[in-house]
Amino acid sequence: MNPEIPLRDIHLPEAIGWWPLALGWWLLIALLILIPLIIWGAKRYIARQQLRKQALANLSAIETNFKQHQNDQQLVSEVSILLRRICISHFPRADVAGLSGEAWTQFLNSRSHSSPRSQKPHSPVIHFDDESCFALMTGPYQQQQCDINSQKLLDACRGWIKHLKPLSKPLAKPQSKPQTPKAFGSPQA
């Protein structure tokens, strides 16, 4: 070896920086974000399905009871109670609990997937017709037997439960607190 040859020292490459991230790190970050979202969505879906399954079982029990007793007024009352329970469980209580009369039936029809005109002849009934709406508005409060097409009401209720829309936005704005009038002679702020 010739010691007179000028050699330079070995230069190592610069240290690898942490930015930009490698593809594997991006995938890991995406998974850490997506997994909780998927779990949350699955829990909501399962809860909705359980509500739907329980509601359909309750409706079947109501139908069985009706077939034994043939009491239209009791049927309408039980169906109305079931629909209210479903709505209170599925939607904000403040938006649903106070509904009655026409507002109640309009709410039920607005939460179905179709209108009566868009239904095909052999599609399941998921919209309450005028007779069923009238029965749901007045039937629970009547003392005498009401004359309704019970099978049509049960089919509409079953279709409504099966095709219940998820809540996409609040139904109504929350009302502000009512202001109480100040007592006479009280200090004003």
Residue type, 132: S
pLDDT at 2 over 70: no
Residue 133, number of CB atoms within 10 A of its CB: 20
pLDDT single digits (tens) 121-163: 555 556 777 888 888 887 777 777 677 888 888 888 898 888 8
Residue 58, number of CB atoms within 10 A of its CB: 17
Maximum CA extent, the chain: 120
**Look-up: residue for tokens 């991230």?**
21
> From the centroid of its chain, how far is CA 143?
33
Q: Which residues of 158-184 are buried (b: 16+ CB within 10 A; e: fewer)?
A: bbbbebbeeeeeeeeeeeeeeeeeeee
How confident is the prediction for the chain on average, in pLDDT?
Answer: 78
**Look-up: residue for tokens 């929350």?**
174
Give 139: exposed, middle or buried? Use CB within 10 Å, 0-12, 13-18, 19+: buried
Question: Before 140, cis peptide (omega within 30)?
Answer: no
pLDDT single digits (tens) 170-180: 444 444 444 44
Between 90 and 175, the higher pLDDT residue: 90
CA distance 155 to 161: 10
